[in-house]
C-alpha cells in the first residue's frame, strides 16, 4: 500500500461509525516560505467530541489546527497544499471566503486576548458582527453561563474585559467564541498561560461544551489530553530530510493512544521519553 492509501485507511480507523465527521483535514504539504512545516497528515474531526493534538514542540500541531479555520492566512508566506473539507466543501477552495468560514469555526488562543472593551461588548462582538437582531442580553448571559463565568461577572458587565484575572479572561474569550454558537471550536493550548486551578476549570468547561460543540484542542500537556480528549492525534517531527517537518504519526481513541499505541514513536512519547 502506498502512503496515500495508508492515510485513508488510518482516517477510517480513527473515525468509525460515530455522529459523523464534521471536518476532515487532508493535508499534503504546508509551507512557510520555503520551509516545509507539516507533511502528509489526515486528521478527521468528529462531531461533539474533543480531538486532542499532542506532540513535541515543532511538530506542527498548532499549524494544523490553525489551518482548520484559515487563521494561517494572516501570515503572508504561508501556503497550504491539500484539502480541508467542512460539510463537504473544501475550505481552501478559491471561492471560499475565510471571513464567512470563521463564523462557523471559532477559536480560542493561547494567550487570553479579550478586546479593550466591556465584558458585555466582548461577548456581544460576534453577535453584532453578524447582525444579530434578537435579545442580545439573553444571548450574552447564555454565553457567559456556557463559559462558567456568569456568576463572577454578572454584576460588572460594564467593566473592561481586561480587568479580569488571566483565567477569567480566558473564560471570557471562550464565552466570546461560543456566543455565536459556532459549529466547531478550535482551542490552541488554551490553558498554557493559566495557573493549575484556572486550568482545571477550563478543562471541566471543555467537557461540558462538547455536548453542544465539536472541539479540537492542541495541548503540550499529555495529562490534559488524557483527561479531556476523546480522540487523540499524535504528531511527530521528521528530521530525515535535513529540516524539521511535522507529520501525523498516529491517531485514535485516547485510551488506545496512551495505553496500546501502534507506533514506536508514539509509545516513546507517551512514556515521556522525549518531549
Partner 1 sequence: MSVSGPTVESNMRDLIAASRPAPNLHRSPLELRALKSGILTALTWIGALLASVPLFSVIYELVVAGGSRLNWETLTALPPSAFETGGGFGNAIVGTLVMVGIATLISVPLGILAAVQLAILDPDSKLTHTVRFLAKVLTGFPSILAGVFVYAVMVVTMKTYSALAGGVALAVLMLPTVVLAAEQAMSMVPKKMKDAAYGIGCTRTQVILKVVLPTGAPGILTGVMLAVAGAAGNSAPLLFTALFSNYYMSSLTEPTASLAILIFNFSGMPYDNQIELAWAASLVLVLIVLVFNVLARLVGRQKY
Partner 2 sequence: MDRGFRGIAWASAAFILVLVVYIIFEIGGKALPAMSQYGLGFLTSTTWNVQTEQFGILPQIWGTLYSSLLALILGGVFGIAIAIFLTQDFLHSGLAAVFRTIIEMLAAIPSVVFGLWGIYVLIPLLRPVADWLHGSLGFVPFFGTSLSGPGLAPAALVLAIMILPTVASISVDSLRQIPYKVKEAAYGMGTTRWEAILKVMLPTASSGILAALVLGFGRALGETMALAMLIGNANQISLSLFAPANTLAALLASSFPEAGPVEVRALMYAALALLAITLIVNAVGLAVMKFATRKFEAER
| Binding residue for partner 2, selected from 114, 236, 252, 261, defined by CB under 8 A | 114
Interacting residues of 93 by C-beta distance below 8 A, sequence separation 6+? none
Sites of contact with partner 1 (CB under 8 A): 86-89, 91, 95-97, 99-101, 104, 135, 137-138, 141-142, 145, 181, 183, 212
List 3, 17, 116, 197, residue binding partner 2 (CB under 8 A):
116
Nearer to partner 2, 52 or 106 (CB): 106
Q: Which of 263, 252, 248 is nearest to 42 (CA)?
A: 248
Distance in Å, CB of 18 to partner 2, minimum: 27
CB–CB of 69/99 below 8 Å? no
The entry of partner 2, partner 1, none near residue 88 (CB within 5 to 8 angstroms by kind) is partner 1
Give min distance, CB of 172 to partner 1, in A: 18
The reply to whether 113 sits near partner 2 by the rule CB under 8 A is yes
At 216, list the grid cell.
479540537
Residue with cell 472541539: 215
- Helix 166-178 to helix 119-129 angle (10° resolution) is 20
Which range in 47-55, 122-130, 131-139, 141-149 contacts partner 2 by CB under 8 A?
A: 122-130
Cα 111 to Cα 173, 187, 235, distances in angstroms: 10, 11, 22
List 32, 125, 150, 247, residue binding partner 2 (CB under 8 A): 125
The distance of closest approach from Cβ of residue 63 to partner 2 in the complex, given in angstroms and rounded to an integer, is 14
Minimal distance, residue 228 CB to partner 2, in Å = 21
Spatial CB neighbours of 185, under 8 Å, sequence gap ≥ 6: 105, 106, 107, 108, 177, 178, 209, 213, 214, 215, 216
**Least separation in angstroms between CB 93 and partner 1:** 8
Give the bridge partners for 46, in sequence order: 21
Q: Which residue, chain included where needed, has cell 484556572? A: 198
Contacts of 264 (CB under 8 A, 6+ apart): none
Give CA–CA dist 267/271, Å, rounded: 6
Q: How far is the CB of 189 from partner 2 (least distance, A)?
A: 13
Determine the length of the chain.
Answer: 275
Closer CB to partner 2, 148 or 162, in the complex: 162
Nearer to partner 1, 52 or 182 (CB): 182
C-beta of 76 vs 196, nearer to partner 1: 76
Partner that binds at residue 89, options partner 1, partner 2, none, CB closer than 5 to 8 Å by kind: partner 1
Q: What is the full DSSP assignment across 211-233?
A: TTSEEEEE-S-HHHHHHH-SEEE
Q: Which three cell numbers stand for residue 64?
A: 494544523
Binding mask 141-180 for partner 2 (x = CB under 8 A): ---------------------x----------x--xx---
Q: How far is the CB of 105 from partner 2 (least distance, A)?
A: 9
Amino acid at each position: 500500500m502506498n502512503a496515500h492509501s495508508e492515510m485513508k485507511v488510518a482516517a477510517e480507523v480513527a473515525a468509525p461509525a460515530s455522529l459523523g465527521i464534521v471536518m476532515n483535514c487532508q493535508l499534503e504539504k504546508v509551507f512557510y516560505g520555503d520551509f516545509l512545516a507539516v507533511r502528509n497528515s489526515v486528521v478527521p474531526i468528529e462531531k461533539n467530541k474533543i480531538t486532542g493534538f499532542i506532540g513535541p514542540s515543532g511538530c506542527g500541531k498548532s499549524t494544523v489546527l490553525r489551518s482548520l479555520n484559515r487563521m494561517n492566512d494572516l501570515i503572508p508566506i504561508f501556503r497550504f497544499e491539500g484539502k480541508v473539507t467542512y460539510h463537504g466543501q473544501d475550505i481552501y477552495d478559491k471561492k471560499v471566503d475565510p471571513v464567512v468560514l470563521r463564523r462557523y469555526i471559532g477559536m480560542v488562543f493561547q494567550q487570553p486576548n479579550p478586546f479593550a472593551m466591556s465584558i458585555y461588548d466582548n461577548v456581544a462582538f460576534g453577535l453584532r458582527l453578524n447582525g444579530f437582531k434578537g435579545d442580545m442580553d439573553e444571548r450574552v448571559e447564555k454565553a457567559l453561563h456556557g463559559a462558567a463565568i456568569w456568576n463572577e461577572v454578572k454584576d460588572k458587565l460594564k467593566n473592561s474585559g481586561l480587568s479580569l484575572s488571566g483565567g477569567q479572561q480566558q473564560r471570557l474569550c471562550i464565552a466570546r467564541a461560543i456566543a455565536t454558537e459556532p459549529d466547531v471550536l478550535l482551542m490552541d493550548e488554551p490553558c498554557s498561560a493559566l495557573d493549575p486551578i484556572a486550568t482545571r476549570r477550563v478543562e471541566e468547561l471543555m467537557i461540558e461544551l462538547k455536548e453542544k460543540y465539536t472541539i479540537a484542542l492542541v495541548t503540550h500537556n499529555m495529562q490534559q489530553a488524557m483527561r479531556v480528549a476523546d480522540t487523540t492525534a499524535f504528531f511527530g517531527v521528521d528530521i530525515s530530510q535535513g529540516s524539521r517537518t511535522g507529520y501525523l504519526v498516529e491517531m485514535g481513541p485516547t485510551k488506545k493512544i496512551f495505553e496500546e499505541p501502534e507506533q514506536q514513536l508514539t509509545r516513546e512519547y507517551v512514556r515521556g521519553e522525549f518531549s
